[in-house]
């Protein structure tokens, strides 16, 4: 099993924790940029959350 396979497996098994971490990272980036790019950061976090985890995948 390669590193990427292990990473994908981890993301699938821990979807809620990954989504929470992405949200926290987005909030920190938003804070450090002085809330200038809130809309862009939120969109990026939302897209990342859609692409991680088994529950978020869509056919």
Q: From first to last of its 59 residues, what are the pLDDT tens digits of the chain? A: 799 888 888 888 888 898 999 999 999 999 999 999 999 999 999 999 888 865 554 43
Please give the tally of structural domains in the chain.
1
Tell me which DSSP letter residue 3 carries: H
This prediction's pTM: 0.75
Q: Are residues 48 and 22 in contact, defined by beta-carbon separation less than 8 angstroms? A: yes
Q: Which domain holds residue 36?
A: 3-56
């Amino acid at each position: 099993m390669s590193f990427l396979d292990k990473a994908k497996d981890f993301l699938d098994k821990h979807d809620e924790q990954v989504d929470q971490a992405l949200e926290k990272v987005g909030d920190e980036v938003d804070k450090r940029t002085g809330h200038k790019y809130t809309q862009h950061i939120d969109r990026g976090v939302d897209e990342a959350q859609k692409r991680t985890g088994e529950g978020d995948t869509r056919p």
